[in-house]
Amino acid sequence: MTQSTAIHGEKVSLLRVLGPGHVWALGVGIVLVGEYMGWNFAVGKGGALAALIACWVAGMLYTCVAMIDSEVTSTVAAAGGQYAQAKHIVGPLMAFNVGLFLVFAYTMLEAANAITAGYLVQTVGAMAGFEGVHDRPFIVLTIAALAWLNYRGVFATLTFNLVITAIACLAILVLFASVRPWTDEVLQPGQLLTGLPYGWLGVVAALHFGLWYYLGIEGTTQAAEEVRSPARALPLGTMTGMITLLVAATMTWYVCVGLMPWEYLGQAITPLFDAARLTGSLPLMVFLFVGTIFSTLASANGCINDASRAWFSMGRDRYLPVWFGAVHPRYRTPYRSIVFLVPVALIFALGAPLDQVITFSILSGLLGYTFMSFNMVMFRRKWPLGSIRRGYVHPFHPLPATVLFVLCATTYFAVFLGYGTQLVAMMVFYILASAWFAFHRYKYVKRGDQFTMPWPRPAVY
């Protein structure tokens, strides 16, 4: 419980206290909210069948992500995840951008979770006869309370995630069993399941929100510096988390399209909760309300953990002001990064529409996945198998990296079909941020201090 890491020679450093269950809870906890909300916008883009195709194609994309991440992160066991990978394998400018991708992907996802929690409380309040219930106080309370929990320590934070994520997963299983999918008493997929109302172009467009089923599973890498055995815990927690999400996503789709017309499902805010309401069972509705709330809390909690680790790592390496690289002397958490990102999340949660917040998160994550395809090829080329010790070796290289790149390129086009202006605006933002780093901030970076892995000279040199 008290073993700590000595990376970077910090006198006060992060604690290695986490196991595979915590890694599973971090990855699945962040993502499971995607089964409770957001994925159904893919139905509005192309119909129910298009959403299922998007679910499985996105599942293939994230399986590649999970395999690649498991190999590289079990070797680069440092906080920051893909940011730490980029600085060791590619270079400083790529590392800076990847760090920003991570921070904004998780912070926007945190904001989306808070919006959903506030909306759900407001909806249930109205159903109970309390018309004056407002969502904004609950949004602020959610973000502030979870930031405080993260501030107090990572073990308690992810143990809390483990419990509420398990309950949210159980709620999906209970709903699936309650509608008796082996009969046609409740579900009516034959009557409600349509073809492809917008053709195959609708299938491509649905890929935009198909990513929401799994967005954030790569966040398991942020725990690399705080797990007891990175070589074992990270691959095991990540891959079992991915299997959990594939099963949950398919079950969620089947239940929802069997209960709701695709025209309504494509714009619903909380589709699983709506599905429970349509069954007419009050206990089931209450359980799904609890599951939805727990999924949003688990996701927001994990997002705060991951975004703060990425921001902390960039500060520690002087990519950002070194002030952000501090560790709390008692709680051993990156407390300044945690506190700093709270108002950023609140600004978007209180001032932006849910679909745009989701799109911001998806695009930032998508940019990170595109980097991973190149990063994996460079990693194997610079340090071939046998040159360094790996905790996990993913099979069929370079096929997963190639598939990942092709799927990312297709998804960019899907996002452009519906949110072209936002896509261009985000690319401009990241280009300007890159220019700021290259012409201003880079002079503060100490190149020799950021390489912490005891690896041999790369094979290409």
Per-residue pLDDT, averaged over 359-388, amounts to 92
Residue 3 lies in a domain: no
Token representation of residue 46: 């192309």
d(CA 100, CA 93): 11
Residue 291 lies in a domain: yes
Residue 5 lies in a domain: no
Peptide bond just before 261 cis, omega within 30 deg: no
Residue 459 lies in a domain: no
Q: Which residues contact 331 (CB under 8 A, 6 or more apart)?
A: 151, 152, 153
d(CA 258, CA 262): 10
Residue 455 lies in a domain: no
Q: For 100-152, what is each residue's pLDDT tens digit?
A: 999 999 999 999 999 988 888 888 887 777 777 788 899 999 999 999 999 99
Percent of the chain topping pLDDT 70:
97
Residue 269 lies in a domain: yes
Residue 460 lies in a domain: no
Token representation of residue 238: 């990540």
Per-residue pLDDT, averaged over 212-231, amounts to 84
Check residue 128 and give its pLDDT: 74
Q: Is the pLDDT of residue 7 over 50?
A: no
Of 308, 312, 369, which Cα lies nearest the Cα of 82?
Answer: 369
pTM beyond 0.95, yes or no? no
Percent of the chain topping pLDDT 90:
54
Tokens 């945190």 label which residue?
A: 110
Per-residue pLDDT, averaged over 301-305, amounts to 93
Residue 297 lies in a domain: yes
- What's the CATH number where 124 sits? 1.20.1740.10
Q: In what helix (H) or strand (E) does residue 369 lie, and over which residues does it extend?
A: helix 354-382
Sign of torsion, CA 307 308 313 319? positive
Tally the domains of the chain: 1
Residues spanned by the domain of 396: 17-445
Token representation of residue 458: 């790369």
